[in-house]
Every structure is written in C-alpha cells, then in structure tokens.
Chains A and B, each alone.
Chain A
Amino acid sequence: MKHSKKYIAVMTFLNIVFAVIILIPILYCFNVSMMDMKEIYSGSFWPSGLSLENYKKALELAPFFTFIKNSLIVSIATTAGQVITGALAAYAFSMMKFRGKNILFMIMLATMMIPSQAIIIANYLTIAQWGLKDTYAALILPNVAAAFAVFNMRQAFLQLPMEIKEAADIDGCTNFKFFYKVALPLIKPSIGALGIYVFLQSWNYYLWPLLVTDTVNMRTVQIGLGMLQGAESTDFRPVMAGSMIILLPSIIAFIAGQKQLISGLTSGSVKG
C-alpha cells in the first residue's frame, strides 16, 4: 500500500519522539554517572564532560567485580541447565513415541501455572534446611529446569522434517547420537534465542538471590546495586555508575541477540 510523503514524514517524526522518550531513563542514568555534584544541584540533563570518577567511587563502595563474577557463574549455569534439561525433554516429546506422553507433557506445562512467587517461601525453606544458603547451588538449582525452555525447544524440534529422523532410524543411528549429532545442531538458532533469554532473565533475578544470600561475597549484581543504593542515600552518582555497570552486559547481550531472541520468543506463541 502506498502512503503520501506527508504520512511517512509524520510517522518518522512520531518514531523519533517515542524512541527518545523510551531512551531517556537510560540516557539520563549515563549522564548522571558522568556528572559532578554541582551539575546535580543545578538539575542539568547533560554532563559537562566525561569522567570516570563516579565509577571509581562505585567500585570502592561495593565489590562490583565479585557481584559480576557471581552473576556470571549463576547466569551461565542456569542457562546451560535450562538448555540441557529443556533439549532432552523436548526431544523426547517431539521425536519419540511412548506411553503417557501427553500426561507427562501436561505435567510439565502445569508448572507454568504455578507462579514462582507463590512457592518461593517453600523453596527458601528447603534450601535453608539443606544448608545451602549462601552457595552457588542455592542460586542455581531452583532454575535449572523451566517449562518455557521445554516448550520452546519442542516447537523447534517439531519444525524439523520427520524424514531425517526416519532415515536415521533405518541407518541404525541411536537416538542419543541423532539427538546430539543431528537434531541439536539443526536447532542452534532456537538454542541461541532461548539461551539469551534465560541469561537475561537470570542476570536480572532479584527476589531469589536476595533471600538465599547473606554475605557480600555471594551477592549478585542486582542485589549489589540495591546495597549500593541503600548505602548512598544522598549521592546518586555512584549508584547510577553502578547501574551502568550492570546494565552494560544485558544491553550488549540483548542487541547482539535481539533478532533471534524476538523470533524465538514469538514463534509458536502467536497465532496472529
């Protein structure tokens, strides 16, 4: 359909305005992280220059590198866990025939109906009883499997042509070999999308790490930022610098993977 030049110009203008509005919080965060105290009091939007002063202060106030290390370990392990448990289960659900398949699939989907916030106390008590508080295990274990991952990867496997599986069966290829050597490589894009999604989600977890960690050494980036904010109630600049530090990895991961991420998230869930 053709539109007039005026129509396109109006739409372009609207997009620019909206994009700026959406970006303001992030831009402002960056600006404040570069300001000196005088600029804060004068209420200016732009800093007069670039300085890493506030970043240095943020790193002095809280061990951000420890937080980043912890968050990386937890997020990578969680991502690997969900991809592995999800791929295995999804493979069985999509490529194999067995008794009770539908019921087992429903059971897995039922976990989506139980919101994590409704069972977080019980999970906390379990972890505490096992003596796992303040360990990586506590941060990782409850999120090693997720119904979303199973569901998402099942969609991906279902899109593979069944003929290759039949041909492999005739050739006497074992299931596991087919899974590992053929099926997994074929759904790499979906794995990438799911991986980025789980990583982002896990990097951004707040309540669970808050509950199961007590010592500064085990805190994750999100909790660390909260600590910094609590410690610095008068000067916001190091807190903004801290925010920029923890935002950077998620923004990079998002931009790098957005195409796959978006198509992976929306395929199968959107009927039109």
Chain B
Amino acid sequence: MNQRHKIFKTIEPYLYLVPALVFFALFVFWPFGKTLRLSFAMTTPLGEVAKYVGIDNYIQIFSDKEFLKSLLISFEFAAMMVVFSMVIGFVLAIVSNEKIRGKSLFRTVYALPMAISAAAASVVFMFIFHSSLGILNKTLGTTIGWLTDPKWALISVTIVSVWMNIGMNYIYLTAALQGVPQELYESAAMEGAGFFQKHKNVTIPCISPTLFFLLIINVINALQAYAQFKMMTQGGPSNSTNVIVYEIYQEAFINSRFGVACAESIVLFVILIILTALQFKLEKKVTY
C-alpha cells in the first residue's frame, strides 16, 4: 500500500500533463515534423510521400518569382498593419485615459473590433469598398476600384485588418498606461512639458516593453492573415494581394503540390522564429 502510494505520488504530476501533452504531440509537434518531412518530398495528390527530393522544393520556391513576390507583399502588409494599428491603438488609449465622462463606454467601443470575425469584417468592408454602390466612393465622389485596382487592393485589405486589430492593441496599451507612475507626469508638468512632450518623454519610454510585445504579436498575426484575403480579393487583382498564407493555400489545395506548400510553410515558420528572437533581443536592449 505504502509502496504503491509512493509510486502514485511520483507519477501523479505527470498525469495532469498528459491530456495537454497528447494533444500538443498530435496536433502541433507531429504535424510540424510532418511539414518538415514533406518539404523535402514530392507528394501524391493525397499528400503522401511519392519520393524524397532533397532540397529541390526549396530551390524551386526561391527561384519562383510568385513566391518571392508573395513574401514581399506579406512584409509590406505587415509593416503597414503594424504601424497603423499600433499608432491608432496608442492614440485611442491616450485619449480614453483622461478623466472624462462616458469613459467605460469609449473603452468598450475601442476594444470591440476584437470580437468581430475576419469573415464578417470582410463582407462589410467589401460593400463599403464597392466601386459603384459603396459608401466610400459615394462619399469621396470617386470611382476607385478599391478591391479591383492592383494599386489599391492591398491598401484596402490593410484598412480592414487594421480595424480588426485596433481592439487588441488598445487593451494592451491601456493596461500599460495604467502602470505609468503618476509622479512622472507631475514632474514633467512642473518642467513645463506640453501634451506631446509629456507623452514622448514619459509615456512612450515607460510603456516600451508593451510596445515591443505588441510589435511581435502584430507582425506574427499579420504574416498569418488569411481570411480577409480569401474573402475580399482571392490574392488578386493580378496577384497584388497574394500574401504568403494565401500562396501556401493555393499550392496545397488548388495545385495539390503539398511538398512545395510545406516548404513554403517552413519558410514562414523560420521568418516568424527569427522575428521573435530578434524582438526578444531588442527588448532586452531597449527597455528603459
């Protein structure tokens, strides 16, 4: 009895971990290994290995102009999205952090886009952007094909994505603002700092850890964006919104080239890992 009790005590903690670990093994680590394996293979249309081809898939994708262009588009999209959604989130956090009436209502409104699905946001904005019936062209008095003109399509999808991402940036920045010591603002005011100086010299340095954290999360989210592209532009017009996840989807599920798609997935993974590592390093250096 005592012996059995002892054994149970030793293994008990692991039992609590088993459910989570089993699911991680089956749906994260195993598929990751499989993705890596398939990236070195030619596959059957069912996704089984036909034969291993070494790094051929990687050579192929890096000499494929479409793939390289999709990387570039993804970076362009991520850069625009990160800048705008963080700047807007920051401005909203600042203005709603004042002692004003209806503060909690404003807070709810600013965070609300977080709850909106990409699919719903996409269809609403598709109508807003509609070239003949859409409210945007009617208001501006223009006839721009927001989603059909290669010059505008990526910008239009970025606008939707920024709107969807404001909520998350807003709540993290608001939480961070509450951690800024009030004394710092008071001494800044004593030194005669104005509104912009105050935020530049006190707020931004104080919340820099949150800013870096959000930078990582935003880039990672942006590089993984898919639904709004599928719904609004299908990668077009003339591939101008063919971001990397859309490209991967095309290769895998339209062209049935799973090996190539897996190689592209691994490239995406490597990019995200590098960015994360870089951010962690920078965070250590730049934090005040």
Interface residues of A (CB under 8 A from B): 1, 3, 7-8, 11-12, 14-15, 18-19, 22-23, 25-26, 28-29, 32, 40-41, 43, 45, 81, 84-86, 88-89, 91-93, 96-98, 101, 104, 107-108, 111, 113-126, 128, 141-145, 147, 150, 175, 179, 200, 203-204, 206-207, 210-211, 222-223, 225-226, 229, 236, 239-240, 242-243, 246-247, 250-251, 253-255, 258, 262, 265-266, 269-272
Contacts and interface: CB of A to CB of B under 8 A. Distances in A.
B133 A41 contact: yes
B108 A246 contact: no
Contact of A114 (B28, B171, B180): B28
A25 B109 CA distance: 12
Contact of B98 (A8, A92, A262): A8
Q: Is the interface of A mostly helix, strand, loop or mixed?
A: helix
A115 B264 CA distance: 13
Contact of B138 (A43, A88, A119): A43
A40 B133 contact: yes
Interface in B17-76: 17, 19-24, 26-32, 34-35, 38, 46-47
A236 B210 contact: no
A206 B118 CA distance: 8
B131 interface: no
B268 A117 contact: yes
A246 B117 contact: yes
A15 B106 contact: yes
Given A226-B231, A270-B179, A262 B119 contact: no
Contact of A26 (B27, B116, B268): B116
Nearest to B176: A270
12 contacts: A11-B95, A11-B98, A43-B133, A108-B21, A118-B265, A119-B28, A121-B252, A211-B253, A229-B126, A240-B123, A270-B179, A272-B176
Contacts of B261: 121
Contacts of A200: 114-115
Nearest to B127: A236
Interface of B: 10, 12-14, 16-17, 19-24, 26-32, 34-35, 38, 46-47, 91-92, 95-96, 98-102, 105-106, 108-121, 123-128, 130, 133, 135, 138, 163, 166, 171-172, 175-176, 179-180, 182, 185-186, 189, 206-207, 209-210, 213, 220, 223-224, 226-227, 230-231, 245, 248-249, 252-253, 258, 261-262, 265-266, 268-269, 272-273, 276
Contacts of A91: 16
Contacts of A204: 116-119
Given A118-B269, A204-B117, A272-B210, A15 B95 contact: yes
Contact of B19 (A84, A239, A255, A265): A84
B116 A114 contact: no
Contacts of B120: 29, 222, 225, 243, 246-247
Nearest to A207: B226
Contact of A8 (B100, B189, B213, B248): B100
Contacts of B114: 200, 254
A28 B14 CA distance: 52
Contacts of B230: 206-207, 210, 226
B38 A122 contact: yes
Contact of B115 (A45, A254, A269): A254
Given A8-B99, A126-B30, A272 B23 contact: no
Contacts of A265: 171-172
A18 B16 contact: no
B74 to A, nearest CB: 11
A211 B248 CA distance: 13
Tell me which of B21, B46, B91 has the highest count of chain A C-beta atoms within 10 A of its own C-beta.
B21
Contacts of B96: 15
Contacts of B108: 255, 258
A107 B230 CA distance: 33
Nearest to A252: B115
A175 B22 CA distance: 21
B17 A270 contact: no
A6 B91 CA distance: 19
Contacts of A85: 19-20, 23
A32 B126 CA distance: 13
A78 to B, nearest CB: 11
Contacts of A23: 109, 112
B28 A111 contact: yes
A262 B112 contact: no
A88 B17 contact: yes
Given A92-B13, A225-B119, A243-B123, 5 more contacts: A117-B265, A118-B35, A122-B30, A206-B118, A265-B172
Contacts of B116: 26, 204, 247, 250-251
A96 B166 CA distance: 39
A32 B127 contact: yes
